[in-house]
């Protein structure tokens, strides 16, 4: 089960990733911040405390009625909700809802999630928001260099952090799994002989296979072997695959959280000298686009990502210009006679 975030924390996590994820400018980010602050105030007015309630507590009906609430507040002031405000606030809300769903922070049945997003978009009458910006290969390589160049640490805790963060990068890069799925993995979900992860997702804990490349398997094995060395008791299948190694965790084997993954990525970005940290979801987009460009097989991408609907997967086709160019050349230049 994915660990839910507090509602205010989930808003902050979304806003922090806007520049990298969607390429938003500071002015737009501030506008979204204002819109989602109003949404948090709306929740408080309904006795849903954003600091006490989590994304698991979020009611789709409450999200759907946000604009109705705003319209009522404006009417009380004797004026109408401006069209530009409606569109901006709904754009921010749709972006946040998609973030929660994509990151596995809000477990809604697939059909209900699609219906909610569709209804929100219909209220603003505008096209779908842009997809997250894809990370460049050199950015990923810079992160990997930073992780690999960390010297071996004397303390066991810091050494486990070093090994874990390298494995984390390589697993995100080669598997395409959601951050919520990643932190829910247990030791028994990893099969190093076959290089696979058994990933639970969606309502009812459906399972799918996620595949790892050789580098990810080796890094994950090195991390787990270091965890087992000197640890009390034997490795147990139900223990977390990725664990916390901060001082607060102590000697207990506590699962890494989605926020912990983001903090690890931000730390690596700083060490790599990058201005922006990559978000976990950008690795997912990178994975999808790389598979699509290599194979052109949208059905395979859908299965690998665990999408219930091919409509969701088709969004990735729009961020694969290399693949589109290859198809265009095959259709036109390949069939035309030489001049």
List the one residue out of 1, 5, 108, 104 whose CA is nearest residue 59: 108
Active-site residue (options: 24, 173, 178, 244): 178
**CA nearest 125: which of 101, 95, 91?**
91
From the list 307, 318, 323, 328, the catalytic residue is 307
Annotation marks residue 201 as catalytic: no
Query: Hey, CA dihedral for 144, 146, 149, 151, is it positive or negative?
Result: negative
Catalytic residue among 21, 38, 201, 284: 284
Is 203 one of the annotated active-site residues of the chain? yes
Residues 6+ apart with CB under 8 A from 289: 134, 316, 319, 320
Kind plus residue range of the DSSP H or E element containing 197: strand 196-201
Judge contact between 226 and 159, C-beta under 8 A.
yes
Could you confirm whether 316 is annotated as catalytic?
A: yes
Residue of 21, 281, 285, 286 with catalytic role: 281
Q: For residue 284, give both structure tokens.
A: 């997912």
Contact (CB, 8 A) for 326 and 212: no
Q: Is 284 a catalytic residue?
A: yes
Set 203, 270, 314, 328: catalytic member:
203
286 tagged catalytic: no
The catalytic residue positions are 178, 203, 281, 284, 307, 316
């Amino acid at each position: 089960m994915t660990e839910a975030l507090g509602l205010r924390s989930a808003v902050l996590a979304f806003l922090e990733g806007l520049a990298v994820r969607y390429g938003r400018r500071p002015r737009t980010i501030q506008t979204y911040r204002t819109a989602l602050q109003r949404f948090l105030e709306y929740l408080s007015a309904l006795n849903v405390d954003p600091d006490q309630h989590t994304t698991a507590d979020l009611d789709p009906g409450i999200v759907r009625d946000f604009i109705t609430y705003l319209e009522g507040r404006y009417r009380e002031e004797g004026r109408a909700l401006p069209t530009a405000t409606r569109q901006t606030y709904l754009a921010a809300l749709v972006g946040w809802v998609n973030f929660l769903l994509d990151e596995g922070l809000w477990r809604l049945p697939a059909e209900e999630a699609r219906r909610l997003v569709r209804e929100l978009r219909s209220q603003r009458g505008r096209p779908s928001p842009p997809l997250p910006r894809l990370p460049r290969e050199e950015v990923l390589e810079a992160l990997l260099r930073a992780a690999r160049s960390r010297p071996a640490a004397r303390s066991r805790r810091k050494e486990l952090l070093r090994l874990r963060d390298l494995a984390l990068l390589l697993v995100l890069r080669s598997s395409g799994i959601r951050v919520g799925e990643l932190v829910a993995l247990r030791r028994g979900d990893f099969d190093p002989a076959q290089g696979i992860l058994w990933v639970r997702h969606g309502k009812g804990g459906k399972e799918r296979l996620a595949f790892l490349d050789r580098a990810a398997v080796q890094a994950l094995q090195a991390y787990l072997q270091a965890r087992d060395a000197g640890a009390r008791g034997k490795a147990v299948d139900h223990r977390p695959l990725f664990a916390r190694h901060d001082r607060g965790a102590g000697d207990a084997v506590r699962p890494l959280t989605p926020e912990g993954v983001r903090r690890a990525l931000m730390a690596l970005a700083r060490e790599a000298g990058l201005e922006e940290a990559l978000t976990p979801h950008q690795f997912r987009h990178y994975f999808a686009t790389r598979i699509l460009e290599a194979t052109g097989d949208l059905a395979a991408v859908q299965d690998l990502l665990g999408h219930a609907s091919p409509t969701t997967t088709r969004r990735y086709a729009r961020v694969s210009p290399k693949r589109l160019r290859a198809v265009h050349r095959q259709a036109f230049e390949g069939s035309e006679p030489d001049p």
